[in-house]
């Protein structure tokens, strides 16, 4: 093979390699271009879809969204203020003092007017706190804050029912406030189990409002039930009637239709006096003019209702921070008093 053929073969090889490289570069550029075109078309389609929505995604929409967020925050603050208007704080006490307080308060509530010999409850009514009012149990120190709130809520509902004309409070059933069962987890050693720590009331307070749940069974006329529901709706304390049911103690409609009289007529008459009495009643009925057959009932004179009403009273803890600050100030003042007394004594000695 001569020199000229070698040169031509080399040039041809280089040209072939250059052509392959150029072809690859062209193919890669076209692939990138088609991918970018696809991304561009997808972005254009998304923008067109967003532009057709009711709220156009632009500066005005962003401004409107921010204004709506501010309006919502303002409304939420006002709603929380209204809902927490009835929040309460209670002074620290001791178990014996609280037990005596419960007994006195139960005596006061028992004297409210009603249909049980002029009172609203029977003798020795426990108002849902049987262990502490009629029993010999002292409340635990850790439960005093919760018990103070629960008693305030129960007494508020009882006083409201009394003002609405309820005839009798039959029973008050508190929701179970027992601590949850402690789950046992196996420890490193065999035959022993470790108990999970129970969360205290302070840890639970961060989760949300404190709720007192209980059921009140009472007897009242229809007007008393209506007045009670209206009073709970307008109460400053956040009282929620979760559920209620009622039933009449007797059937007024059956009595108005003469159900009892029909039974007396169906009963056999005994002796001459019974026959004479029945004939006299028939003569009176014949003499009386025919009356309309319509039945009229008066809600004011209707029979009593037996009502079972479940409540949930909320405290949104809005005053807990204020109470904690006041308690801290009192403690600081009490700590400063001994020093002041010591200074006064030293001045008197001089």
Other Cβ atoms within 10 Å of 222 Cβ, number: 15
- Measured CA to CA, the distance from residue 237 to residue 155 in angstroms comes to 12
Q: Which of 95, 94, 104, 97 is nearest to 127 (CA)?
A: 104
Longest CA–CA separation in the chain, Å? 161
Can you read off the two tokens belonging to residue 32? 């990138």
For residue 208, what are its two tokens? 């949300």
Q: 345-348 contacts: CB < 8 A, separation 24 or more?
A: none
Q: Which residues contact 193 (CB under 8 A, 6 or more apart)?
A: 184, 185, 186, 187
Helix ranges (DSSP H) in 292-319: none
* Averaged pLDDT, 24-47: 87
- In the structure, what pLDDT confidence band is assigned to residue 52 with cuts at 50, 70 and 90? confident
Query: Over the stretch 285-312, which tens digit does the pLDDT of each residue have?
Result: 444 444 454 555 666 667 899 999 999 9
Q: Which of 154-158, 161-165, 252-256, 275-279 has the lowest mean pLDDT?
A: 275-279
* pLDDT band at 241; cut points 50, 70, 90: very high
Higher pLDDT, 33 or 69: 69
Residue that wins the pLDDT comparison between 127 and 342: 127
Does pLDDT of 334 surpass 50? no
Q: CA-CA distance, 145 to 327, in Å (whole number)?
A: 15
Q: pLDDT at residue 243 above 90?
A: yes
The dihedral sign for the CA sequence 122, 126, 130, 132: negative
pLDDT at 183 over 90: no
Give percent above pLDDT 70 in the chain. 69
CA distance 284 to 268: 20
Strand partners, 311: 214, 241
Within 84-186, residue ranges assigned H as helices are 95-110, 130-133, 144-163
User: Which residues, in sequence order, are bridge partners of residue 310?
Assistant: 215, 243
> Cβ–Cβ contacts within 10 Å for residue 25, how many?
10
Segment 166-185 shows an average pLDDT of 69
CA 186, CA 181: separation in Å to the nearest integer?
16
Highest mean pLDDT among 17-31, 113-127, 242-256, 325-339: 113-127
Q: Is the distance from CB of 327 to CB of 253 less than 8 angstroms?
A: no
Q: How far apart are CA 315 and CA 153, in angstroms?
A: 10
Run of H or E residues at 170: strand 168-174
311 φψ region: left (φ > 0), alpha (ψ -120 to 50), beta (else): beta
Cβ-defined contacts of 342-348 (< 8 Å, 24+): none
* DSSP conformational letter for 159: H
- Please tell me the predicted confidence (pLDDT) of residue 272: 46
Answer with the residue of higher pLDDT: 49 or 199. 49
**Class of residue 241 by CB neighbours under 10 A (exposed 0-12, middle 13-18, buried 19+):** middle
What is the rounded distance in angstroms from the CA atom of residue 282 to the CA atom of residue 289?
13
């Amino acid at each position: 093979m001569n020199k000229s053929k070698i040169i031509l073969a080399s040039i041809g090889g280089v040209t072939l390699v250059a052509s392959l490289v150029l072809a690859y570069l062209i193919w890669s550029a076209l692939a990138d271009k088609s991918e970018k075109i696809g991304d561009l078309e997808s972005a254009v389609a998304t923008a067109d879809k967003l532009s057709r929505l009711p709220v156009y995604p632009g500066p005005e929409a962003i401004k409107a969204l921010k204004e709506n967020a501010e309006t919502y925050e303002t409304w939420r603050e006002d709603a929380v203020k209204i809902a927490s208007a009835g929040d309460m704080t209670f002074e620290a006490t001791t178990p014996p003092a609280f037990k005596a307080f419960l007994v006195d308060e139960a005596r006061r509530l028992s004297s409210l007017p009603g249909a049980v010999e002029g009172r609203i409850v029977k003798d020795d009514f426990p108002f849902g706190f049987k262990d502490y009012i009629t029993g010999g149990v002292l409340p635990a120190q850790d439960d005093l804050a919760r018990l103070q709130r629960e008693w305030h809520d129960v007494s508020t509902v009882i006083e409201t029912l009394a003002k609405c004309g309820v005839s009798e409070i039959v029973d008050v059933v508190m929701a179970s406030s027992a601590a949850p069962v402690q789950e046992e987890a196996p420890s490193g050693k065999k035959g022993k189990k470790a108990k999970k720590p129970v969360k205290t009331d302070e840890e639970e307070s961060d989760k949300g409002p404190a709720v007192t749940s209980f059921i009140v069974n009472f007897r009242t006329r229809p007007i008393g039930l209506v007045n009670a529901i209206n009073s709970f709706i307008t109460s400053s304390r956040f009282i929620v009637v979760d559920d209620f049911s009622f039933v009449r103690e007797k059937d007024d409609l059956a009595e108005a239709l003469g159900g009892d009289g029909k039974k007396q007529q169906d009963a056999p008459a005994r002796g001459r006096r019974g026959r004479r009495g029945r004939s006299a009643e028939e003569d009176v009925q014949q003499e009386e003019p025919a009356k309309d057959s319509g039945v009229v009932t008066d809600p004011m004179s209707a029979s009593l209702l037996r009502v079972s009403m479940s409540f949930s009273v909320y405290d949104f803890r809005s005053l807990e921070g204020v109470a904690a600050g006041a308690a801290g100030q009192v403690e600081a003042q009490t700590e400063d008093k001994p020093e002041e007394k010591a200074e006064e004594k030293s001045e008197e000695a001089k």
